[in-house]
Amino acid sequence: MCTCNKKNEYIPYPAKIESVKKESFDTKTFRVRFTDKNLAESFQYKQGQFMEVSILGVGEAPISITSSPSRKGFLEFNIRATGKVTDAIHALKKGDALYLRGPYGNSFPLEELKGKNLYFIAGGIGLAPLRSLINMVMDNRDDFKHVKILYGAKTPADMCFADELEVWKKIPDTEVWLTVDKPCDAWGCSIGVVTELWKETDVHPENAVAIVCGPAIMIKFVTLALKKSGFAGKDIIMTLERYMKCGIGKCGHCNIAGKFVCTDGPVFSYEQVKAFPEKEHVI
Ligand SMILES: Cc1cc2nc3c(=O)[nH]c(=O)nc-3n(C[C@H](O)[C@H](O)[C@H](O)COP(=O)(O)OP(=O)(O)OC[C@H]3O[C@@H](n4cnc5c(N)ncnc54)[C@H](O)[C@@H]3O)c2cc1C
Ligand code: FES
């Protein structure tokens, strides 16, 4: 029997689902609040971190916190139904219980982004982790220069946060550029992969940082385009996904060349990623 007072790091805290919003054809955003009132009020996290989200008896999955730390009292997770745990979470409704442990991982370097032009470049559900930082920036708008959000998805039905894209568009000094691989009849924006947007709008490296998230292949081509536009490796920031178990640097599942994505990441600069051995095929 353990006689120390330390809490077992694997034990999650109970939370209640406050609302469920369908975002795209296969993703939903869950707004949750810790059941313990003190924890709900005092809980702190940073933009870019993730939590292990679980249903008792089913399992747990690492999920990025998509809400912004600037909006307090609740947490939001945008989840794609893709297997055992995420399908079970999708079956939950308002008032049901979810269990959370975390927050885990590093975060987007907010202080370093202040005073910079920001390019947010996302593919599909990759907008979820960026949304946390985007809303942090929007809530402290004067601390940052021009913001461009370039967002691509397979079809209009795959786009997440449609309402919020409209809100961001109307914020001064903020542009939103959208593209899809396969449009529907009503589609009025660009067609093609997200790098096609380079033809529609300028992407300048001066005093700028690009923050990228999406499937590995998308990150790879976006990084190439950013490099071609003159961005230095340190000014390209990305958030990576790896198979995870513990989320706390113990099991080794997320190891890339001696780095643990769960504790050293998930946020890395391109400079860090390009130092990984080629055989790791990170992007
Ligand atoms: C740091 C981090 C942040 C994440 N943030 C989000 C998020 O915000 N929203 C979201 O929907 N998902 C996110 N994911 C992915 C999510 O964790 C997996 O989709 C989930 O663990 C799948 O669990 P499952 O039991 O539902 O599926 P399983 O039944 O385990 O698997 C179903 C399918 O998903 C694949 N899969 C399982 N785990 C992963 C993984 N880690 N990465 C890629 N594919 C996987 C399997 O190969 C299989 O094809 C994140 C992953 C990481 C590592
Ligand atoms: S998930 Fe266990 S070490 Fe990273």
Q: Is ligand 2 within 6 A of the CB of residue 244?
A: yes
Ligand in closest contact with the CA of 23 = 1
On the 0-12 / 13-18 / 19+ scale of CB atoms within 10 A, 56 is exposed
Q: Is ligand 2 within 6 A of the CB of residue 102?
A: no
| pLDDT at residue 2 tops 50 | no
Tens digits of residue pLDDT in 8-49: 899 999 999 999 999 998 999 999 999 999 999 999 999 999
Which domains does the chain carry? Answer: 13-104 (2.40.30.10), 110-239 (3.40.50.80)
**C-alpha 84 – ligand 1 centre gap (Å):** 10
Tens digits of residue pLDDT in 56-67: 999 999 999 999
